[in-house]
Amino acid sequence: MSLSTLDTQQNADLGVPVEILNPKTGLPIGLRITVLGTDSDTYQEIVNRQTNKRLAAAKKNRGQLPTLTVEQIEGEQLNVLVGCTQSWESYDPAAPATAPVPTVELTPGVFLDCTPENVRTIYAHRGFSWLRRQVDDAIGDQTLFLTS
């Protein structure tokens, strides 16, 4: 048995497309979001930066770790999700053979490219917490990043 077949880092660094499902029906909504995994360099850099920031604050406070607010914790989680989102594409789920487009329609006629600002806008919206949860679950699901 070669462990190399179970190495998730390469695919975690490349990213995998995640089919977003309707939270009620479980059916595809016509949106794929490509995300990096927890074993990616990007994920590790974001988490390390956040941890180093806490350690620096603790050093200033004589070894006492700072008390984080719920808003700060949620902000850090949001930073990870935004940093690990590489692209998105929408398509017609009734005609999946049609060419996908690299935008998301937020509201009728409002199309958003996959920029960090737009990703943050969508993930931070409380009404889309179901989408944020699906993305977060995918980033943490190491089985998605296995080649075999």
**pLDDT one-digit tens code per residue, 59-77:** 777 767 677 788 988 999 9
5 domain-assigned:
no
- For residue 10, being part of any structural domain is answered with no
**Contacts of the segment 4-10: beta carbons below 8 A, 24+ positions apart:** 5/146, 5/147, 5/148, 6/146, 8/37, 8/39, 8/142, 8/145, 8/146, 9/39, 9/40, 10/147
Considering the domain boundaries, does residue 53 fall inside one?
A: yes
Total domain count, the chain: 1
Residue 90, domain member (yes or no)? yes
pTM of model > 0.75: yes
Report yes or no on 7 lying in a domain: no
Range of the domain at 53: 21-142
- The answer to whether position 148 is within a domain reads no
> Mean of the pLDDT values across residues 11-38?
96
